[in-house]
Amino acid sequence: MTVDPEDRMIVAGSRMLRNHRVVFAGVGAPLIASVLAQQLHAPDLTIVLEGGYIGPKMLPGKLPISTNEMRGARRSVMLTGIVDTFLFAQRGRFDYGIVGAAQIDRYGNVNTTLIGDPAHPKVRLPGSGGANDIVSSCREVFVMTRHEPRRFVERVDFVTSPGWLDGGDSRERAGLTKSRPAAVITDLAVLDYEPESKRMRLAALQPGVSTEEVVQATGFELVLPREVRELAPPRADELSALRRLREGPTVDAPKPDAMVGGTVPGSASGTDADSMEEVARS
């Protein structure tokens, strides 16, 4: 059985989320991964959406397209404001934060702001949304994105959401002490960071993917351990639950540029997922 690359990325993401934790998720792949985890192995995972929805249990086929719409409110334990929601994060109450990326570099710095020179951008992307706040505050930060050389660049044009900055202890020196870029989850692999240098490191391969494929899809030199494990393939129950989640207006009504090549939002606000697709065309 062939598994859609996007699906194996989402399944890998969902498996990282443990029960009884709190996850701050953007719409698109991060939210789908979170709801999938909730439906399978983490029924008491508390999902938080930026708009002020805490602890919703969303219905398959009725996932919100924005972090603010009423679809996201179903069976929430608390409906509040945006500032209050983010302040829970800033206080250190959220275990996981998941964002997407238009560009990501060897230290896990993420760009969703602009391509080119900041003073005269070649391409203006939609912006941070809550992504900067999420990576600055959530204890473990995951980035979910398609694995392509144009996304995995030597150095991002602009640091919207800091990863390990320049590596080593630079993140800590910048004052970011309560959160930790933990992993990058892609359709080809799971990557983490070498503990000292903080350079991105291949941690596990998606089933059937070779180290060489990952190296080819990465625009910078990855740290390659001597042995790399392979992730367990998506199970039938994971795939069928995922199919049910994808029903509904998020996917059943293709819009211009809809979901092309990946539902990963560039920011937590549900973003420029495919801005890179459009950028490539424009």
Partner 1 sequence: MGEITRSEPPPPADARRPIADDAPPVDKRTTLAEAAGLVRDGDVVAIGGCLYSRTPWAMLLELLRAGKRELTLARSLMCYEAELFLVREASTKLVTSWVGIGLPWGIPKVFRRYVEGGRAAYEEWSHLSLGLRFQAAAMGVPFLPTTSLLGSDLLSLAGAKEMDCPFTGRRVAVVPELTPDVALVHVHRADPFGNAQVDGATYMDREIAAAARRVVVTAEEIVDPSVIVGQSDRTLIPHFIVDAVVEVPFGSYPHECYGLYEASFEHFDEYAALVEAKGEEGVREYLRTYLDEPGSFEGFLDRVGATTLLRQQRRARELSVR
Report, as residue numbers or ranges, the catalytic residues. 50
CA distance 250 to 19: 26
Judged by CB under 8 A, the stretch of 44-52, 143-151, 208-216, 235-243 that binds partner 1 is 44-52
- Answer for the pair 137, 90: CB distance below 8 angstroms, yes or no: yes
Identity of the residue, 14 or 137, whose beta carbon is nearer to partner 1 in the bound complex: 137
Among 43, 81, 149, 207, binds partner 1 (CB under 8 A): 81
66 binds partner 1 (CB under 8 A): yes
Find out whether 234 and 8 touch, Cβ atoms under 8 Å. yes
Ranges within 152-191 binding partner 1 (CB under 8 A): 158-162, 165, 170-171, 174-176, 178
Q: Which of 191, 230, 186 is nearest to 210 (CA)?
A: 230
DSSP labels for 136-154? Answer: HHSSEEEEE----TTTB-S
Among 128, 145, 186, 218, binds partner 1 (CB under 8 A): 128
CB closer to partner 1 out of 91 and 235: 91
Residue 89 vs 203, nearer CB to partner 1 = 89
User: Cβ of 14: how many Cβ atoms within 10 Å?
Assistant: 26
Number of residues that bind partner 1 (CB under 8 A): 77
Site for partner 1 in 219-278 (CB under 8 A): 249-250, 253-259, 263, 265, 267-275, 278
> Rounded to 10 degrees, what is the CA torsion of 43, 21, 147, 169?
-170
Least distance between partner 1 and beta carbon 258 (Å): 5
CB of 120: closest distance to partner 1 in angstroms?
8
Pick from 20, 75, 235, 243 the residue near partner 1 by CB under 8 A: 75
Site for partner 1, residues 5 to 24, rule: CB under 8 A:
none
Shortest separation between residue 68's beta carbon and partner 1, angstroms: 4
Q: What residues have CB less than 8 Å from 152, skipping those under 6 apart?
A: 104, 105, 217, 218, 219, 220
- In whole angstroms, how large is the CA radius of gyration of the chain? 17
| Among residues 11, 17, 38, 86, the one that binds partner 1 under rule CB under 8 A | 86
Q: Judged by CB, which is closer to partner 1: 82, or 232? A: 82
Which of 141/205 has CB closer to partner 1? 141
CB of 166 to partner 1, least distance (A): 10
Candidates 68-76, 194-202, 221-229, 237-245; binding stretch for partner 1 (CB under 8 A): 68-76
Backbone φ, ψ for residue 122 (5° rounding): -75, -40
Residue 135: CB partners within 8 Å, gap ≥ 6?
Answer: 97, 99, 110, 141, 161, 162, 163, 179, 181
The per-residue DSSP string of 178-245 comes to S-EEEEEE-SSEEEEE-TTT--EEEEEEPTT--HHHHHHT-SSPPB--S--EEPPPPPHHHHHHHHHH
Per CB under 8 A, the list member of 18, 60, 61, 87 interacting with partner 1 is 87
